[in-house]
Amino acid sequence: MEEVTRVTTTKKSNKLVTTLLIIAGILGLALIGAAVYFYMIKPSTEKPEDVSKTCACYYVDPAVTTECGDPRKGFLFKLVTSKGGTSCQSACQTSSLPIDDTDSNTKQELFLTCSLPNIQDIRCSEMTIKNKAGELVVGNIAKDDEITLEAKFDKKYNNPTFKINNVNEEPDTISEDGLTIKKTLSQFKTTTIDIVATAIGDDGESINSPLCKRIIEIEQQGESSVTGLLMSRRNTEETTKISEAILRVSNITDTKDIKISFSFDNEEFAKVEMIKGFSLDTNKGEFSIIEQDLYNPENFSQAVSFSQLDDYVGQLGITAELFRLGASLGEASTTVTFQEPGAEEIPPVKEEQPSLESSFSISLATNINCLERVEPNNSIIFTVNIKNNSTSSQSVLKVKNKLPLGFTYIPSSTKINNVSVSDNNYLQSKQVGETTELAWTIASGWNISANQSLVVVFQAIAGPNALTGENLNEVVIEPAQVPTDPATLRASIPVSVSQNCNPTETPVETPDTGLFDEVLVQVGIGLLVLLLGWLIYSKPFGHVIVNKLVNSGLYKEAEMTSWKLFKPKKFFEEKTIKRMKKRI
């Protein structure tokens, strides 16, 4: 049998190609090794001794709130930082409170102290609010007060600013080192001021420190005024008597230092000043005086009473003017007809009615924009401001508020014109579907003078059934008179419910990659690979290694496998030649 000679169908591999294949193989092995190395390493964890914890305590005036839970109602903070695994504790002693520098009438020992554990952001480390006298504001101010805000940061940051009710307000002054910002506020038109001091941190995110957040309540006290005068009379055989006088007022809660002056359009009669004998019904907004007291000289400063009118016959204009501490609060007039003895009874003159149409506007406000479902961040304060825009006094019979789904009213939390009221006397609560409807009402309604307001403040909590996202709180009022625009009798405000209103970013743990972390090591490995490739390509020793690799069984097996996949014809030829050689 003739010897079969193997015929090569391709040229020998070029040295350059072979060298490149070798280099690619080495780089591949290096990449595999690096991948295995990165997979096997574990993230480094911070040792307990390197962990630092920050906590704080703060003071609360019981005249503002009687419980801890909302640090924004605190007015002075004490910060403590501990290192290692020890717990962080900060103690505020009432004996250490600078009571002389505080705008409060509360006794020093009655102030509350609260704790604020594990503070995540302390980049804004301090904020104080002071009045004109330089005293610390504890939580409540008058609407005509002036306050100064001062906030301090731990270092200089970009765009330091105040947020007032979620509106950015540039500071009036910034210290030369950029650490302290100040701003003066006055002429308050809302019932609550939400104050936040913030800046842009090094990470590009806004600073969100609980130490630099405050809630300030604006005392709502409407101006006292007189809105009407009504006098009833009765006829006797001898004369006509004033049987009752009713003086209608608004925003008056007591009779302290009150005087009522009565004057007449007939100069024959002397002006009389009543100093006692009248009673005030705050629910109705009325001073009432019965006949016995109107004709009792002891109730008048000059011992001259309404008895001077006993012999008068005809119409008489009477004006009542209300005074407190000598200052006039307003006046109202009416006309009374005095008849001759035995004359036929004249029907009483009906009380002059106010305008047949009412004009109200409603605004809603909250102390926070986001709340959670668990304490202490699940409570919210709603403020309903009802303003009378008409030119005469108008009445509101009922104020209805429909809470969002899952919200619950906090009992005894209602204030009307900044005065706490009893739920039993004013509030009715009922379920409407799956929501709660609150209704505040009194028998005669609330009389609101022209351009004045009725303010209702109450608190609620978000329960486990509150819906995540925006929820609407809705309010509607029922006026005594026909409204000019019914759409103005209704208002709503969105309230956001979240699992966490102040999320703190958890730092991502960076794996400890050892030598491969160093840039120099990475550059060195690259140079070593290039040097190895150059030696293989240019040196005889490298050629020997390449020849051994090319002629090795492993290389040939790999070559055959590649042919099987990509060059099946060549693979068949080589396979046939090998079989024939084995037979020989």
Question: Is residue 536 pLDDT above 70, yes or no?
Answer: no
Counting Cα atoms < 13 Å in the Cβ hemisphere of 227 gives 26
**Rounded to whole angstroms, how far apart are CA atoms 440 and 449?**
19
Give per-residue pLDDT as tens, 376-431. Answer: 788 888 989 898 888 777 888 899 999 998 899 999 899 888 778 888 888 999 88
Residue type, 472: L
Residue 325, amino acid: L
Amino acid 187: pLDDT: 83
The pLDDT score that the predictor gives to residue 31 is 61
Find the mean pLDDT for residues 7-31.
Answer: 56
394: Cβ–Cβ under 8 A, 6 or more apart, which residues?
354, 355, 358, 359, 360, 388, 447, 448, 479, 480, 481
More confident residue, 258 or 18: 258
Mean pLDDT to the nearest integer, 226-235: 84
**How far is 74 from 177, CA to CA, in rounded Å?**
27
Does this model's pTM top 0.85?
no
Lowest mean pLDDT among 3-7, 9-13, 423-427, 450-454: 9-13
The whole-angstrom separation of Cα 175 and Cα 150 is: 11
Q: Where are the domains of the chain?
A: 49-219, 225-338, 357-497
Residue 140: per-residue pLDDT: 83
pLDDT for 14 beyond 60? no
**Is the fold of 49-219 the same as that of 225-338?**
yes
Give strand ranges (E) for 339-377. 357-358, 360-366, 370-371
Give the residue, 176 or 15, on which the prediction is more confident: 176
β-strand partners of 478: 398
Mean pLDDT over 275-294 rounds to 86
Per-residue confidence (pLDDT) for residue 564, from 0 to 100: 74
Quick one: which of 244, 225, 224 has its CA closest to 233? 244
Query: Checking DSSP bridges between strand 357-358 and strand 482-483, what pairing results, if any?
Result: parallel
Residue 65 pLDDT greater than 90, yes or no:
no
Measured CA distances, 320 to 183, 285, 353 (Å): 47, 15, 18
Of 76-90, 104-118, 136-150, 170-184, which has the strongest mean pLDDT? 170-184
Higher pLDDT, 414 or 564: 414
Instruction: Say if residue 208's pLDDT is above 80.
Output: yes
Distance between CA 340 and CA 338 in Å, rounded? 7
**pLDDT tens profile 300-314:** 998 889 999 988 988
Q: How far is CA 560 from the centre of its chain?
A: 74
Average pLDDT over residues 61-86: 79
Q: Compute the half-sphere exposure of residue 58: CA atoms within 13 Å on the CB side of its CA.
A: 28
pLDDT number for residue 22? 63
Per-residue pLDDT, averaged over 148-167, amounts to: 91
Q: CA–CA separation, 361 vs 486, rounded Å?
A: 10
Strands 112-116 and 52-60: antiparallel
- Report the Cα 215 to chain-centroid distance in Å: 8
Q: What's the CATH class of domain 225-338?
A: mainly beta
- Domain 357-497, CATH: 2.60.40.1510
Q: What is the DSSP string of 218-249?
A: EE--PPPEEEEEEEEEEE-SS-EEEEEEEEEE
* pLDDT score of 180: 94
Task: Name the pairing type of β-strands 435-448 and 453-462.
Answer: unpaired
Find the mean pLDDT for residues 24-44: 61
Owner of token pair 């690259």: 526
Give the pLDDT score at 190.
Answer: 72
**pLDDT for res 11:** 46
pLDDT at 351: 44
Per-residue pLDDT band for 147 (boundaries 50, 70, 90) equals very high
For the domain covering 49-219, report its CATH number.
2.60.40.10
Q: What is the pLDDT of the chain when averaged over all its residues?
A: 80
pLDDT, tens digit, 9 for 90 and up, residues 489-505: 888 888 888 888 766 54
Alpha carbons 189 and 144: distance in angstroms, whole number? 9
